[in-house]
Structures are given as C-alpha cells and as structure tokens.
Amino acid sequence: MPEPLPADAAPPLNDADKRLSGALMRVNHVGEICAQALYTSQALAARLGPGPVAARERLARHLEAAGQEETDHLAWCKQRLDELGDRPSLLNPLWYAGAFGIGLLAGRLGGPVSLGFVVETERQVEAHLDSHMDRLPAHDHASRAIVAQMKDDEVRHAREAQHAGAAELPTPVKRAMRLAGRVMTTLAHRL
C-alpha cells in the first residue's frame, strides 16, 4: 500500500495550468517508471553478480528499499495525473524496457559502479525536480507537495548510495545520462 499523497487537495486550476501540471506530472511519472526498472534490474544484477553472497544480498536489499519508495512516488504521480484529468505517457513500456536494460548493465559492472549510477541518476533527478518546482503553477499545491517530497527522497537515495560505496562515474557517462534524460523528458512531456 503506497504512502498517502503529501498533499490532499489543491485549489482549482484553470485549463492552461491543468495542462502544464499534467504534462510535468506525466514526466515525473515516467521518471518513476524508469526508477522501478532501474532499481529492479540493478538488484537482480547484484544478486547474480560475482563476489560474496552477503555483500551482493546487502546491495540488492539497499536497491530494493530505495525502489520501494519510488513505488510510492509512482502512485502519487499517477493519482495526481488522474486528479488533473491527464494520462501517463504512451511510451511507458519503452521507458521501462530501456531503463531496465541500462540498470542491468550498470548492475553487472559491480556494486560501486551500480551505486555510482544511483548517485548520478538521483542528482540529475534532483535538478529535474527543481526545474519542475520553478515551472509548476504556484497555486498547484498538490503537485508541488508531491515534487518536493520526491526531491527530498531522491537526495537521500543519492546520499545513502554514496555512503554505501558508490564510485564516481566518468564525465562522458554523466553527459550521456543527461542527454538521455533530456530526450525522455521532452518526449514524455508530449506523449
């Protein structure tokens, strides 16, 4: 059962504000679809990878715990989309499959790289959520509360992954991740 939404109600929004909030929450929903795939595939790779079983299991449990919070985020975004009369991305199966493959690759590169991928992903998500806070209508308190809580959780996920032994990813990898994120958010905003 997901945690309740961070805010219960929002004042009425005009049609333009509803469309903007809906598009932004659709993008956030896609991000949570991707988070489900990433954490699931990274946990799977951790369990199947080399090294001591106890260390692999500890890493898998760490990833699954973060993924559980992402499940709450996914439910919040979907509920908010419903309230706004909007819909999830039509490309969600594609987003999930792509993110699953990327997470599996990151996970197969070993615990420190997998955790480094979590750190960089969450840092980029944090920046993305900051931009949504700037763009959401000021009176859309419900969407803003969801985004603020998601951001707090993502910052904590990055910090926990860092403390668990994350490796710093090379700059070209970070840039490729940012580019992929821009493509995803641009398409998800519309589709």
Residue 39: which of 136, 153, 144, 146 has the closest Cα?
153
Q: The pTM is what?
A: 0.86
Please report whether residue 84 resides in a domain.
Answer: yes
In this predicted model, what pLDDT tens digit does every residue of 3-59 receive, in sequence order? 555 555 555 889 899 999 999 999 999 999 998 999 999 999 988 877 788 888 888
User: CA-to-CA distance for 172 and 101, rounded, in angstroms?
Assistant: 19
Please report whether residue 7 resides in a domain.
Answer: no
Please report whether residue 143 resides in a domain.
Answer: yes
Q: If pLDDT is split at 50, 70 and 90, which confidence band does 150 have?
A: very high
Q: If pLDDT is split at 50, 70 and 90, which confidence band does 179 have?
A: confident
SS3 12: coil
For tokens 């969801």, the residue is 146
User: CA-to-CA distance for 8 and 142, rounded, in angstroms?
Assistant: 7
Please report whether residue 153 resides in a domain.
Answer: yes
For tokens 């991707």, the residue is 34
Please report whether residue 10 resides in a domain.
Answer: no
Overall number of domains in the chain:
1
In this predicted model, what pLDDT tens digit does every residue of 59-117 receive, in sequence order? 889 888 888 888 899 999 999 999 999 999 989 999 999 999 999 998 888 888 888 98
CATH number of the domain within which 161 lies:
1.20.1260.10
Residue 99: which of 26, 162, 180, 190 has the closest Cα?
180
Q: By the 8 A CB rule, do 42 and 118 touch?
A: yes
Query: Can you read off the two tokens belonging to residue 2?
Result: 């997901």
User: CA-to-CA distance for 171 and 174, rounded, in angstroms?
Assistant: 5
Helix 111-135 × helix 92-108 angle, to 10° = 140
User: CA-to-CA distance for 105 and 46, rounded, in angstroms?
Assistant: 11
As a 3-state breakdown, the chain gives helix, strand, coil percent values, each rounded to 5, of 80, 0, 20
pLDDT at 6: 55
Query: Can you read off the two tokens belonging to residue 119?
Result: 């750190």
Please report whether residue 178 resides in a domain.
Answer: yes
DSSP state of 50: S
SS3 3: coil
Please report whether residue 2 resides in a domain.
Answer: no
Please report whether residue 154 resides in a domain.
Answer: yes
Residue-number span of the structural domain to which 137 is assigned: 15-190
